[in-house]
Amino acid sequence: MRLVARIFVLVLLAVAQTAVPSYGKAKAPPSKEEVMASATALVQSINLSCEVSDAALFNDGKAVVNGKDVHVRTFETACKSGIGYFLVEQTPEPVLGFSCIAADATRAADVAAGNPPGPSCVLAANADLKAMAGNILKGLGNSCVVSKYRTMGEEVSTHSELTEVACTGGTGVVIASPLPGSAKPISAQSCVDAFKHGIRCTMSSTGTPMITEQNFKDAIVQHNVPCTVEASHLIGRETVKQRHIVEFRCKEQPNGLVAFIPLEGAKAPFETMDCAAAGARARIICTLTQVH
């Protein structure tokens, strides 16, 4: 699996920003309905996995592309999956595109270098990029309170753009969003699973999610389990369901408490039981609680 830099983003932004508007005083700008219809048609024409929920026309004009005078239209689009894009139609040249997260990274690099910054996404669904990443993961069944994010580049084999997301508590996720020409749906995997495929997260000290005792305590609180934790013990991790098995000692649970906690993007449900039930079902032996 090879990641390549999104250097074409810079070219794309330059084209979008230098295009000369083609409609003048005699022709009014298109209506919102017309923009939505045009953006939807563009998405369908390139077989992009995006059900358009909102769209805006960023630029409509003439530009020189590869030595040719072409008509360029740049749309900002929001998809129901949560991802947002800039898409550039430049017939007869191929449609170009990149996510709002990549646009933000390019803009930040411009500012750091003292260059005129490129555009950023402004649609209501796209403007808050942390919220965007969180909405994408929520739609994929992954509960993650996003603390930070970064663009990782393009995954050539799947023609998708990768974004690393760090969640509160130390876990991490890699989002793969389709690029123009790809009908592959948006997806996500934990940093642990991504590492198995050669993709390394960098927003933690190890490059992979760090699981701490606090993560386990937070899971108990999130699921409203009555337990003021006095001590905890990581028993192990399930091979198939990928849940952490943790024993807790707390006064509210005189028979002990064993929790099966899905972290790092695991899809299995959160579950708790007392020590006797855990021993009968999974041969788990509690060490923090005396079971009679």
Quick: pLDDT tens for 272-281: 999 999 988 8
Residue-level pLDDT at 5 = 34
Report which of residues 183 and 248 the model is more confident about.
248
List the structure tokens of 14.
């330059």
Enumerate residues 6+ apart whose C-beta is below 8 A from 220. 227, 229, 248, 259
| Cα distance between residue 5 and residue 7, in whole Å | 6
Counting other chains too, the contacts that 85-89 makes at CB distance below 8 Å and 24 or more residues apart are 85/50, 86/12, 86/16, 86/58, 86/119, 86/121, 87/39, 87/42, 87/43, 87/46, 87/48, 87/180, 88/12, 88/15, 88/16, 89/42
213-282 folds as: Nuclear Transport Factor 2; Chain: A, (3.10.450)
| Cα distance between residue 37 and residue 183, in whole Å | 19
Q: Is the pLDDT of residue 11 over 60?
A: no
Residue-level pLDDT at 210 = 56
DSSP state of 288: S
190 forms beta bridges with 173
Residue-level pLDDT at 38 = 95
| Cα distance between residue 27 and residue 25, in whole Å | 6
Q: Is the pLDDT of residue 267 over 60?
A: yes
pLDDT in tens, 50-65: 999 999 998 888 888 7
| Cα distance between residue 25 and residue 217, in whole Å | 63
- Burial class of residue 66 (count of CB atoms within 10 Å of its CB; 0-12, 13-18, 19+): exposed
Where in the chain do CATH 3.10.450 domains reside? 213-282
Q: What is the pTM of this model?
A: 0.63
